[in-house]
């Protein structure tokens, strides 16, 4: 996100990067260095929300943004020149906040075209079968624009249908 922000500040925009903080480790020293080198990049750390400490990382990644929506909305309404929201791929629940504020929102996806193909097609694929990928084992899966991949080679969070 920082590199994308640098592109925007070249065109005269200022950028605020909102951080969803799940722990006490906020990286504030790094944020200070980036802001010092790029005065038009700001960081805002949202307060922690209660997440079980034993929750799997994938659950945290998918749940924390949604739980932060009220805090994010409260912060964004204080900004006088908010023009758009650019989201990380794992923060799509924030689209609700952008819709409520009636501002454009964009998803910044920093992965390969292969990963994008799987991500976009997977909901359709999921609707065509009742089986979990872990039970499909060596069956090759086809995704548009991508070579086949064996079911067990899919990312672990996708293997269990539930």
Contact assessment for residue 80 and residue 14, using Cβ atoms and an 8 Å cutoff: no
Token pair 């950028």 in the structure block, residue: 15
- Spatial separation of the C-alpha atoms in residues 52 and 63, rounded to whole Å: 11
Distance of CA 113 to the CA centre of its chain: 17
Two tokens at 61? 């990644």
Contact 110, 83 (CB under 8 A): no
Catalytic residue flag (residue 88): yes
Catalytic residue among 11, 54, 59, 88: 88
Which residues are bridge partners to 17 per DSSP? 43
The residues annotated with a catalytic role in the active site are 88
């Amino acid at each position: 996100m920082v590199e994308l922000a640098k592109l925007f500040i070249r065109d005269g925009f200022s950028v605020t990067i909102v951080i969803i903080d799940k722990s006490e480790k906020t990286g504030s020293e790094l944020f200070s260095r980036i802001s010092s080198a790029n005065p038009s990049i700001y960081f805002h750390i949202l307060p922690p929300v209660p997440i079980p400490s034993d929750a799997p990382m994938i659950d945290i990644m998918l749940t924390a943004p949604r739980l932060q929506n009220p805090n994010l909305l409260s912060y964004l309404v204080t900004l006088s020149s908010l023009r758009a929201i650019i989201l990380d791929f794992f923060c799509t629940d924030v689209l609700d906040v952008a819709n409520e504020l009636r501002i454009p929102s964009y998803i910044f996806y920093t992965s390969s075209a292969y990963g994008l193909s799987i991500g976009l097609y997977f909901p359709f694929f999921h609707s065509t079968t009742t089986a979990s990928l872990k039970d499909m084992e060596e069956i090759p899966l086809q995704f548009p624009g991508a070579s086949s991949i064996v079911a067990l080679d899919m990312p672990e969070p996708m293997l269990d249908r539930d």
